Amino acid sequence: MVTINDVAAESGLSVGTVSKVINNLNVKESNRKKVEAAIDRLGYQVNMYARGFKIDKTYTVAIIVPDLINPFFALFVNFVEKTLVGEGYKLLVCTTYGDAEKESSYVSIVVRNRVDGIILISYHHIEDELKNITIPIVSIDRHLENAGCCISGDNENGGKLAAEKLIKTGCTCVAYLHNGSNLDGETLKRGKSFIKTCRRAKIRADEIDFGEETTLNEFQISKIYEFLERNLSTGRFAYDGIFTSSDIHAVLVTEKLQQLGVKIPEEVQVIGYDGLKILNVGDYAVSSIAQPIKNMATASIKALLGLINKEAVEKNIILPVQFVEGGTTRKE
């Protein structure tokens, strides 16, 4: 194993000079080039954690997410990691599977491991665990007191866009189907805005809540199927438009209604949320309100690095969303 002493001997310089180069401290440019050349020749691997103790940085960021089954979370983590690599950082991924205790445990673990910052997607009462943490935090979709910044898509406009699309294409009785946390946050705005916009237009709009779990399980799926079957009378579905809190819901609703003999979008139109594509590269899975997932990841890293470097960062960043056609809505 190559050591810093080997690099010093190879470069003909002192260990102290090599250490300064590794830690990005001020040295003569000619000495820096000698050290970097020696590192390349020997294949020396810098111990980022040891380096972190000296410069108070480990160049590591943690992201805490509910799961990686939900395509939105998986894509977001993917874009976060790609962006961080370009900034010279490593990413620690912590999945909580919706477990509040596991989430609290992960917060403690990443703090003990001296990460430089945390990106947090939480749907639990996590405020007490964050109270005494000095590590910079960027929160997604939640306004947490100890988070330096909250990043979100424009959920309020997203709900409005969904409602306007269904109204313009002739819907007269619609429903908003959702599950997930009811804690105050940006995501709740999509449903509230949808219902408000529909009712202002004198359209009947019902809201159906299937529970607070962020990831659909078999029990929740069965409840959604039961709701759809219960509202199908003599071959006619009770609603002619459905808006769901995620594309996963929209796909389930679309497939089940089609199995029940309902024509999509001729008889019932369906709009999801997130804007996910088939295999992430093909067509949109359903008509949807597309979130700018890549831009949200980039904005999160920019904000977090700003906080790490003690720069002024905007407290709330809301990014635009758009309606995308996925074959489950009619043309205007």
185 CB-contact burial (10 Å; exposed 0-12 / middle 13-18 / buried 19+): buried
pLDDT of residue 67: 92
> Residue 285: phi, psi to the nearest 5?
-65, -40
User: Domains (ranges, CATH) in the chain?
Assistant: 4-46 (1.10.260.40), 60-152+293-319 (3.40.50.2300), 155-292 (3.40.50.2300)
Question: pTM for the complete prediction?
Answer: 0.83
Write out the two tokens for 146: 């100890």
pLDDT of residue 96: 92
How many Å apart are CA 329 and CA 276, to the nearest integer?
16
Parallel/antiparallel/unpaired status of strands 232-233 and 204-209: unpaired
Residues of the chain with confidence (pLDDT) below 50: none
How many Å apart are CA 46 and CA 31, to the nearest integer?
18
**Amino acid type, 263:** K
pLDDT of residue 271: 98
pLDDT of residue 162: 98
Q: Where are the alpha helices (DSSP H) in the chain?
A: 4-11, 15-22, 29-42, 48-55, 71-86, 100-112, 127-130, 155-168, 188-200, 218-230, 247-259, 293-308
pLDDT of residue 209: 93
Assign 278 to helix, strand or coil: helix
> Residue 323: phi, psi to the nearest 5?
-80, 135
pLDDT tens per residue across span 196-226: 999 999 999 999 999 877 777 888 899 999 9
Cβ-contact 65, 142 below 8 angstroms: no
